[in-house]
Amino acid sequence: MRPGLFKMSHISLLAFALLFSLGLSGQTYSFRNYGKANNLPGTVVYTLNQDDNGYLWLGTNEGIVRFDGFDFYRVLYPDSSTGRYPTVTLKDQDGTLWFGCNDGSVFRSSGKTLEQIAMPGSSLTGISAILQESDGRLLIISQRQPFFLIDPDKPGNVSTISFREDPGIFSAGQTATGEILSGTQENLLVCRIAGDSIITENRVGGFDYARIMAVLQLGDTKDFMIGTDGNGLFRLRLEDSGPVLTRFAGFPVLESLSVRSLVKDSKNSIWITTSGEGVFRMTFREDAYIPVSVQHLDMNSGLAGNNVLALFEDTGENIWMGFNGEGLSLLTSDAFEFFAPGGISGQNNIIFIGRLSGNYLLGTPSGFYLYDLSAVKPVSFTSLTGKTGQKAVNSYFIDKEENIWVGTQGSGLYVKRKTGVIRQFYRSGDSGSDYISNIAADDENIWLATLNGVRIISRKTGALKEVYDINNGLPPKGINHILMLGDGSSYVATESDRLYRIIPGSGVVASDVAMHGMMLNKVLGLARDRNGVIWAATYGNGVFECYDDSVKLLSTANGISSNYTYSIFADSANDIWIGHERSISRYNQKTGVTRVYSTDFARGGQCNPDAFYESADGKLFVGTTEGLIVYDRSKDKKKQLPPVNNINSITINNVEYPYQPYINLPYKKRYTIKINYTGINLGNPEKVYYSTFLENYDEDWTEASSSREVTYNLSDGKYKFN
């Protein structure tokens, strides 16, 4: 690394400021947000669901909307009513979507349109829940009596179910044996349908007059989670002797939430949306619904807002959240987390990550943190600038004995033994040789990358043993990185179109194959994969994959985010990770596929050189100028579904027509037909177009000159003459 290429923060902190900053550690996640800027009609999202064609359906304050991953499409009500918005939604056993609205109206999806269900009565109230009975009938529960039963096969026949009580229903759930759990203003009613009436069999109190907003069945048919408005979460078990209401022991944070909805995902976690405190996710033991952790996501975690009305997991296991005023958000992956260990500007610039004494060492230009990842907080911060002659730190290295080696910007090398204090270990007296960009080590020696080449010193005495610079074959520019090999030699990253290898005792060897690029080749980082291939990250020319006799280029043409690459790492799965200014690229060698992850969720931090690390349990750590990114492979989505293809329109000889299964065409010698369809993959959307041509390919077409019309079947691409 050379001066001026990367921004460094030099800050001296007082003791009280350090203590203050340690309490402000942050943790954020990666979200993709949609609002007015994305033409979302309505920023209050009450309901979310997905149809069998892959579209996400939103119930907003401005009506019902379909989303294909790119565009939002209004779905018009069949009537001209205004001020209506959906309050609940259900996807039935046949894949039809049902919507209940604030004015008591009910609709179901019919392709891309809505069909209204004629509800009996003239003074309907808002729909609180839609449940599907075991026989397939839908139970429509309104906030005030009565309830309704609808046969999906005969939606015109709606049965009215009378309810002798009028408690005001805000939520509902159902047991496997047919009981209906109705949440009211102050208690829970256990009810059952008897003929054309609903009978209350039991009342569950103990909620301290808190309105019951959500009812969710747990794994056992007798166990339920109950969410209230202001009095948090409860666990309900319907014993034969009577209902038992308890709290979730050990998690007091759950006891005062204003819950809006409860959702169980495909991994058996439960998501809790709240008014004012964002979202919570509970994970449980595999053998029982006993919570083992609670994860909290709010605006400090990257959420668009803290008032979350709805949450939905789509078929691709993506988590969507609807807000009260902030639109829609997609949690792109909770495999990525962001941690800002310092609360003061400049104390989050992580240039090194390593493992030390059970914690993670996070090195910055002014000192290092010991960080407890499980507790999401720093254990300590050790300031170094006062001990290094006010010179900023450029590099760190932790050896097998857990000694910490520190390279500075002009003051040489320092060491902190496991049981000692930090002290100067080596200094040449030349500012260029004492500017240490990178540190490596073998069993006997410490290797230093400096502005004046490579210095090899004794690990025991600090004595200078060998010097490699312009005088014995290295390019005149400084050394940015050292990649140690298992045989005691190393490759070095420098400004050159070739790789250089240092073999102690033998000298410097330059590779025979050049790395050609559009710009002057500045190699900033090196990595070696499990096959022994060397990867060189450059500043402007992308990444070179270097073999003994050939070089391949990995650039933006192959899908990486930018050709300006600051760091590179080969993980245990042999994926190649590349750090950029505002993103990270991940290249899969088996498939040749590159995925790009934005660092916007990490405050847009720039990836630092030599700031990749992989833990023993497979977590990948990335140091940025704004903090630490952690990728947990075990949390990454395993379910990869092909896009669901939907034809949107057909263009025939430059005239666009809405989709219909068959199109009748007057006879012509040639038709150019363009079929516009969307391959819906909500987590990774992609627009797809298909074009085909109809012309005189065979005799049938030519001999049909007397025919005036041809029918083209869009499903199989075949035509016939009428």
Q: Could you tell me which of 531, 538, 598 has the C-alpha nearest to residue 567?
A: 538
Q: State the pLDDT at residue 25.
A: 41
What is the side-by-side strand order in the sheet with 56-60?
45-50, 56-60, 63-67, 72-75
Q: State the pLDDT at residue 535.
A: 98
SS (H, E, C) 636-664: CCCCCCCCEEEEEEEEECCEEEECCCEEE
Q: How far apart are CA 448 and CA 456, in angstroms?
A: 6
In the chain, what are the helix, strand and coil shares in percent, each to the nearest 5?
A: 5, 50, 45
Q: Could you tell me which of 85, 89, 63 has the C-alpha nearest to residue 76?
A: 63
Backbone angles phi, psi at 208, to 5 degrees: 55, 40
Q: State the pLDDT at residue 575.
A: 96
Task: Specify whether the CB–CB gap between 359 and 346 falls below 8 A.
Answer: no
Beta carbons within 10 angstroms of residue 548's beta carbon: 10
The first and second tokens of residue 356, run together, are 């030390």
pLDDT along the chain (722 residues), means of 10: 30 31 52 92 96 94 92 90 92 97 94 91 84 94 88 91 85 92 94 91 93 92 94 94 92 95 94 97 85 86 93 93 96 84 79 95 96 89 92 96 97 93 96 97 96 97 97 95 96 96 95 92 97 97 95 93 96 96 93 84 89 96 95 76 72 76 66 72 64 41 39 48 44
Burial class (CB in 10 A: 0-12, 13-18, 19+), 719: middle
Please state whether the predicted TM-score (pTM) of the whole model is above 0.95.
no
Q: How far apart are CA 398 and CA 414, in angstroms?
A: 12
Q: State the pLDDT at residue 638.
A: 57
Residues 6+ away with beta carbon under 8 Å from 572: 614, 618
DSSP state of 231: S
Beta carbons within 10 angstroms of residue 357's beta carbon: 10
What is the side-by-side strand order in the sheet with 138-142?
127-132, 138-142, 147-151, 154-163, 197-204, 188-194, 180-183, 171-174
The residues facing 381 across adjacent strands are 369
Q: How far apart are CA 324 and CA 305, in angstroms?
A: 8
The first and second tokens of residue 9, run together, are 């923060």
Q: State the pLDDT at residue 199.
A: 92
Q: How far apart are CA 370 and CA 453, in angstroms?
A: 31
Q: State the pLDDT at residue 165.
A: 77
